[in-house]
Structure 1
Amino acid sequence: MRTVLNVSSDCFYRWLVRPESARSHRSRVLLEKIREVHKSSGYIYGSPRITVELHKTGESISRSSVARLMLCTTKTDNLDRSLQNT
């Protein structure tokens, strides 16, 4: 894999064992909560309503952050769906 990425083996293996950053950990936790709220709404709520619901639970997050996380999820979900055989 390191040859595909054209990086040295030292850098690749340091990256491989590096712990998860605080931001990516928080994003992952928030994404799980966003998915939960989105599912409980019957997949109707968008980022403004999900932000309000998260604020009710005590989460401090902006609407744009919710939208960013939802957009990243949507892109990967759509990619998974487009690769399925029919």
Structure 2
Amino acid sequence: MEKRFKITAQEGLHARPCTLLVTAASSFSSDVQLTHNETTVNLKSIMGVMAQGISPGALVTISAKGEDEGAAINRVTEVITTEGIGEEC
């Protein structure tokens, strides 16, 4: 299961939004990943996500695989949209 997002946060994915996303993803047993420019990282790894250097306007794909993948995608989507990090494409 996956969803695409456009990052709308003025600073892109810096420390605060990365922390929110990692915290949301970490509460699920499924593998949750973020893909940007054909590079995929574990969304449960703050260093992996921050290392992507994702800027405003970037398109990212969030994917999840496992027993609670639907709940994981829904929670990450909620964080992205309600915290002003991005919008669904």
* Alignment TM-score, normalising by the size of structure 1: 0.31
| Structure with bigger gyration radius | 1
* Alignment TM-score, normalising by the size of structure 2: 0.30
Q: Which has the higher contact order (CA 8 A, sep 6+)?
A: 2
